[in-house]
Structure 1
């Protein structure tokens, strides 16, 4: 599987730490010193996830030089769909990609990496030749904007990567690992509310609805700085790749301290750690492809370079992969 195109989309509205401090008891210094975040993009009331995901998908198609009809598969990694029955088919329809099967994959902040690995398996079997893998989330709709522990962290965005079949010797997915630990699920949740509705005398049913995002930040931080370097180390060892041969660390953009801790573990200079947290915050499944697209467009990531990547978050779930960027094949 070769990575041959990318694209992204972000809402126009940007809310700075200073603006947020007018609503909740916080400050720019407090947020930056603990997270590295300076602002976040927030979707307007008239900007659904489908629109963001479709814009990112079109940009990736254009970058790869593909027509919508070239697609065989669309995977949408999201935890905040416009429709719980699935938003990927709506993206497929918006693109006019009528030859592609489309479905959602939910794994929170690990979602994009899990979806990319899933697409690779379809390609490896020969069932799929070309796929779009989209990471998109609009968690602003599920935040308690009066809770300074969570509302300062998250933003909205979407990004996509175009992948296609290639000879094994040219693959862009050199190795990967995935993990889940449901015993720690309560550390980060967007849980169903315990609503009840009387259906008949003596018979009640659950009433649909979700509580705002809850996060035990301290536990999630400890989980990430412990588990992510270990899993990345396993991938590098399995592929026989010394850390000094990795061109870039492309990690889930959750917290700058986590990014720096992983870099220190592998003695990777901080200037080789890709980060756009300051401008976007944590966009969940969108963070990795959003950062990838930014670094490809500005020339930092060049064809043939190696990217050590990891996604981690709710579930708890985490994954790691060693990627090689190819770029458009003309």
Structure 2
């Protein structure tokens, strides 16, 4: 008998403010067509003044609880993947824990930038398999608009804010690839590439900083590493690309998403794409895409999903999950 981490609920939250490409054209040498042709992005959401990452996370958590028909008291652990915390400490996770009325259990943050949700899912899977928790809420939440250089058209047009959440619960499985839940994970990082995507400030440097990126190099690494990690996780699960019903990728750039699908030998009809409406929401992008895919009736019970992401570090990884 094998313990599996099975999805019980999913939900998301987006700030009210919609920021179309045309808004950037008012202050930068850019256009709607220029942005769309290079990223596929048409619009994104920005958090309101005073609206924090933990608030976004709490909204998404409540939506996932409602979907599962559970209360915050039913959760044993809460993990938030984020690179844009409200404060240096305490963690966004403990703030979210308090906001949703979760009195017991434990909560902590995971920081792996855009790969954060995949890392958090892997941690949740391990907690459930080891018996340390029966139910784990996993949230990706970001307010990336706070760290953008609004004079840099190569980065500021790409990112947005939002949050998504999954509620996982332990369930006995057979140990076969037919089980529901997380079937395999694959995590990687290489700190020698840290200068490709980073924020040029932080607590120990006594500055806030802005996001900096070498876009062309990130693109090259992303396509190669995302396809490789997806195949590695599928191999661990004793499955192949032919078994996949949906790729739910990190929503960074439509060209990266398309190139990765091609490298995996899968048509775009099997890819959940939300980047055009959300932009790159970093650790929130996969759970946002998952929740949207379920809401739209695309993702159905029993279907096989591959989630893959890469972010600053560089850090990258994937999760194979049967819905």
Q: Please report the TM-score for the alignment, with normalisation by the length of structure 1.
A: 0.93
Residue 138 of structure 2 corresponds to residue 133 of structure 1:
yes
Alpha carbons 1:10, 1:52 under 8 Å: kept: yes
- Structure 2 SS opposite 1:150: coil
Shift of residue 46, structure 1, vs aligned partner: 2.4
Shift of residue 230, structure 1, vs aligned partner: 1.2
Shift of residue 171, structure 1, vs aligned partner: 4.3
CA distance, structure 1, for counterparts of residue 311 and residue 303 of structure 2: 26
In structure 2, the residue matched to 1:80 is 84
Residue 303 of structure 2 corresponds to residue 283 of structure 1:
no
- Structure 1 SS opposite 2:97: helix
**Equivalent position to 1:34, from 38, 42, 47:** 38
User: For residues 130-187 of structure 1, what are the alpha-carbon distances to aligned partners after superposition, in whole Å with 9 as ceiling and x for unaligned?
Assistant: 1100000101000111110110000000010000101133341111110000000010
Residue 115 of structure 2 corresponds to residue 110 of structure 1:
yes
User: For residues 54-97 of structure 1, what are the alpha-carbon distances to aligned partners after superposition, in whole Å with 9 as ceiling and x for unaligned?
Assistant: 00000001101111101110001000000111111111001110
In structure 2, the residue matched to 1:294 is 292
Alpha carbons 2:15, 2:47 under 8 Å: kept: yes
**Equivalent position to 2:53, from 43, 49, 55:** 49
Alpha carbons 2:231, 2:240 under 8 Å: kept: no
When Rg is computed on C-alpha atoms for both structures, the one with the higher figure is 1
CA distance, structure 1, for counterparts of residue 205 and residue 157 of structure 2: 29
**Equivalent position to 1:242, from 234, 237, 240:** 240
**Equivalent position to 1:99, from 93, 96, 104:** 104
Alpha carbons 1:92, 1:100 under 8 Å: kept: no
> More displaced, 161-170 or 174-183?
161-170
Alpha carbons 2:201, 2:210 under 8 Å: kept: no
CA distance, structure 2, for counterparts of residue 7 and residue 297 of structure 1: 9
Alpha carbons 1:173, 1:321 under 8 Å: kept: yes
**Cα RMSD for the two superposed structures:** 1.2
Alpha carbons 1:17, 1:38 under 8 Å: kept: yes
Tell me, which stretches of 5 or more residues in structure 2 are unaligned? none
Question: Matches of residues 1-330 of structure 1 in structure 2 within 5 Å?
Answer: 1-85=5-89, 86-169=91-174, 170-192=179-201, 208-325=206-323
CA distance, structure 1, for counterparts of residue 196 and residue 77 of structure 2: 33
Alpha carbons 2:180, 2:302 under 8 Å: kept: no
CA distance, structure 2, for counterparts of residue 103 and residue 236 of structure 1: 28
In structure 2, the residue matched to 1:202 is none
Q: Please report the TM-score for the alignment, with normalisation by the length of structure 2.
A: 0.95
CA distance, structure 1, for counterparts of residue 236 and residue 147 of structure 2: 39
Alpha carbons 1:187, 1:219 under 8 Å: kept: yes
User: For residues 89-139 of structure 1, what are the alpha-carbon distances to aligned partners after superposition, in whole Å with 9 as ceiling and x for unaligned?
Assistant: 111001110112111111100000100110111111111001100000101
Alpha carbons 2:39, 2:255 under 8 Å: kept: yes
In structure 2, the residue matched to 1:203 is none
> More displaced, 207-216 or 63-72?
207-216
CA distance, structure 2, for counterparts of residue 49 and residue 59 of structure 1: 16
